[in-house]
Amino acid sequence: MNDFPSQGLAAAYVEHRAQLLRFLVARTGQPADAEELLQEVWLKIEAARSGPIGDPRAYLYRVAQNLVLDRVREVKRRAARERDWADVTLDQRADSPEPATPAEAEAALLAAGEAQRLAEAIAKLPPGAGRAFRLHKLEGLSHAEVAARMGISRKGVEGHMANALAHLRRLLAERDIG
């Protein structure tokens, strides 16, 4: 028996990589997300230092499924965070007093519409740009922290941010025209 059970997992990973990728594409619906999750599976098994694993294939699929579930939970948390951010930013919380004048009510409606447009535009960002934008602008991480979290360079983060901002400007401008 070898000293590191992950060596057996690595061989199983190589053997079942194509099937794992199909499994992840079926679960996520996005080949790019599936590839990213597959890389996370690799990182998990490389870091594994546990006892012998009876069924390495089943273990790999369980790791992959857990990562998919983690991703779904992350998306739900992000959506809730964005809703909360919009509520706070627009001061439109449920416990906020009603506007005192029609002008204030109109301004609140316009602000809510703008927030909705912005949230919709953020949701339409390309995956990498969207993730970098959310991490930097909504979670408040620095470019270096975003780079570390995404496993890319700071220049890569800067490129994603430039892409996200250009994309948002274009989407919001199209809505103004249309």
Domain boundaries, the chain: 1-89
Task: Quote the pTM value.
Answer: 0.46
What is the rounded CA–CA span in Å between residue 6 and residue 177?
56
Q: What is the pLDDT along the chain (178 residues), one digit of tens a residue?
A: 344 445 688 889 999 999 999 999 998 888 888 999 999 999 988 887 767 788 999 999 999 999 999 888 888 888 888 877 777 666 555 455 555 566 666 666 666 667 777 777 788 888 888 899 888 888 888 888 889 989 999 999 999 999 888 888 887 777 665 5
Handedness of CA 40, 123, 135, 81 (dihedral sign): negative
**Fold topology of 1-89:** Rna Polymerase Sigma Factor; Chain: A (1.10.1740)
